[in-house]
């Protein structure tokens, strides 16, 4: 497998495309979601509510 250059190039190209299109690399969306989570936690704290898991969307 390591000697099959064509196969390695195809896998490398596929990995690059997957990394680029991954939602993990969308910094703007990540920032929006984490800010949403912080706001939810802040609001719950000031309303005197118990802590819970927050689903940032």
What b/e string do you get for 37-48 counting C-beta neighbours within 10 Å, with b at 16 or more? eeeeeeeeeeee
Query: Residue 53: its pLDDT value, please?
Result: 87
Its domain, for residue 25, covers: 5-46
Q: Is 56 part of a structural domain of the chain? A: no
- In the chain, how many domains are there? 1
pLDDT tens for 7-57 read 999 999 999 998 888 877 888 988 999 999 999 999 999 999 998 888 876
Nearest Cα to Cα of residue 53 among 35, 43, 40? 40
Q: Is 53 part of a structural domain of the chain? A: no
Q: Is 16 part of a structural domain of the chain? A: yes
């Amino acid at each position: 497998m390591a000697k099959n250059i064509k196969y390695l190039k195809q896998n490398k190209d596929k990995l690059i495309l997957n990394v680029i299109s991954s939602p993990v690399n969308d910094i703007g969306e990540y920032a929006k979601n984490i800010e949403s989570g912080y706001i939810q936690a802040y609001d719950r704290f000031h309303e005197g509510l118990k802590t819970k898991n927050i689903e940032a969307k």
